[in-house]
Amino acid sequence: MGQMIITGLICGALLGFVMQRGRFCLTGGFRDMYLAKDNRMFYALLIAIAIQSVGVYTLISLKVFEFNAGSLPIVAVIVGSFIFGIGIIFAGGCATGTWYRAGEGLIGSWIALAGYMLVAAMVKSGVLLPLDKAIKETSIESNSIAETIGVNNWLIITIFVVVVAFIIYRELKKPRVKIPGLKPKKTGLAHILFEKRWHPFITATIIGVIATLAWPLSVATGRIGGLGITTPSANILQFLVTGQISFINWGVFLVLGIFFGSLFAAKLSGEFRFRIPDTKTAINSFCGGLLMGFGAGLAGGCSIGNGLVMTAMMTWQGWISLGFMILGTWTASYFVFVRPSKKAKQAARVITA
Amino acid sequence: MKRTLEVMGMICPFPLVEAKEAIKDLNSGDELEVQFDCTQGTESIPRWAAEEGHEVTEYEQVGEAAWTITIKKK
């Protein structure tokens, strides 16, 4: 139990710290692919996936632990991920984003988190469990991409790493505009840790390493898995209302660690303040949280569990989920950002005409 | 002319969305001062300004999680 608490909290705190300082936001990243035609954050995610993939499969090859991709509940993954994608736009951040923004003092994220935990717990062990089970009945036997194609996992990983390396090379070669920054007030390590702008690719590299590290740390406490947000978030609520200690696992301390790591980072960089949302934002955050909890529960993972971890494990679940999550964010972005601005333009034209 | 856009309390990406809208009404050489408190904006707003070719004449953290940035329209 002691080991679980310590390694879980440390791993989570590192992740929360790096995500807060590195402004690692997948919701923003997926949204900007559509709104700003900017793929930087998506490429950063690919880097984190590639590093984790090589790291974890090396550990598996060294027989540190075993991994079974299991079966693929295809309908649940598609529908759940799409709904999750819609939810994160309304919540203003994905599952991890919501945890680390809660650490920055955003009350809107606390509200989103409450909705997220509630519905995730309802899907995992509450009134929505029968629905979840019914949808998951439609499943495909093999979830491993390598197994389906009939090749070695390392072949898939190698091809993926080469593609990612090519993308990074092309990205870094592009001429860059100088982005104005704040005048530095700190020096040395304090400047790097609590002030400097981090390149998203550097942030992603560190996240890839933390995600790799999460596996052996989690496995050592009996939980075969890597980073995960949805189930642990649900577990906290399940434990709180049932008092059953069996709901406590490594993941629970991981997510609590994310909150504290982000709080620490925000506090020391002067970025922590309780911020109260207006009514509309509060309602959007809550609804977003509800959709997030339902979607991630159904899909068996959020942007981290499926989008970062199951992708690295080279499963169909991870990649199909990532695709539909992105489609979900684009759909919601259209209704939240694109359509209102088009309407405003039309209204302006009518007035001038 | 200088216009002030107060978007404190607005979550990302709305400060950026509002700034993009607000700058449309300005003439070249006019300034837009954006007061915001969403952390991601510290990255996304100056990045947008730089990529659009506007000049950032002032950029400062004015308090705990509070920033102000002045953008001169190109």
CB nearest B56 (choices: A92, A105, A180) = A180
| A273 with B66: Cβ contact below 8 A | yes
Task: Point out the residues of B that are catalytic.
Answer: 12
Asked if the ipTM is above 0.95, the reply is: no
Contact criterion met (CB below 8 Å) for A58 and A67? no
State how far residue A272 is from chain B, nearest Cα, in angstroms: 6
| A277 with B9: Cβ contact below 8 A | yes
pLDDT (tens digit per residue) in A41-63: 999 999 999 999 999 999 999 99
Three-class SS string for A168-186? HHHHHHCCCCCCCCCCCCC
DSSP letter (8 states) at residue A165: H
User: Which of A273, A286, A334 should be substituted to probe chain B, the one whose Cβ sees the most B Cβ atoms within 10 Å?
Assistant: A273
CB nearest A177 (choices: B44, B51, B60) = B51
Lowest mean pLDDT among A54-58, A163-167, A336-340: A336-340
Residue A178 has φ and ψ, to the nearest 5°, of -80, 120
pLDDT (tens digit per residue) in B21-65: 899 989 999 999 999 998 989 989 999 999 999 999 999 999 999
Residues from chain B contacting residue A341 (CB–CB below 8 Å) = 17, 21
User: Which of B7, B36, B40 should be substituted to probe chain A, the one whose Cβ sees the most A Cβ atoms within 10 Å?
Assistant: B40
pLDDT (tens digit per residue) in A101-159: 999 999 999 999 999 999 999 999 999 999 999 999 999 999 999 999 999 999 999 99
What is the predicted pLDDT for the residue at A352?
67
Q: Which residues contact A5 (CB under 8 A, 6 or more apart)?
A: A253
State how far residue A330 is from chain B, nearest Cα, in angstroms: 14
What is the predicted pLDDT for the residue at A73?
97
pLDDT (tens digit per residue) in A6-27: 999 999 999 999 999 999 999 9
Residue given tokens 């650490």 in the structure block: A103
Q: Is the dihedral of CA A342, A348, A352, B5 positive or negative?
A: negative
Query: Any alpha helices (H) in chain A, and if so which ranges?
Result: 2-22, 26-35, 40-61, 74-91, 95-103, 107-125, 129-136, 145-149, 153-173, 188-194, 200-219, 230-242, 250-268, 279-299, 311-312, 316-333, 339-352
Q: Is the pLDDT of residue A351 over 80?
A: no
What is the predicted pLDDT for the residue at A49?
98
| B12 with A20: Cβ contact below 8 A | no
State how far residue B30 is from chain A, nearest Cα, in angstroms: 18
Taking the C-alpha atoms of residue A128 and residue A294, their distance in angstroms, rounded to an integer, is: 9
Query: Mean pLDDT across chain A, nearest whole number?
Result: 95
What is the predicted pLDDT for the residue at A347?
80
pLDDT (tens digit per residue) in A270-282: 999 999 999 999 9
pTM of the model: 0.95
| A92 with B11: Cβ contact below 8 A | yes
Taking the C-alpha atoms of residue A30 and residue A277, their distance in angstroms, rounded to an integer, is: 23
What is the predicted pLDDT for the residue at B12?
82
What is the predicted pLDDT for the residue at A353?
60
A341 touches chain B (CB under 8 A): yes
* Interfacial B residues in 25-54 facing A (CB < 8 Å): 37, 39-40, 42-44, 46-47, 49-51
Question: What's the gap between Cα A85 and its chain centre?
Answer: 11
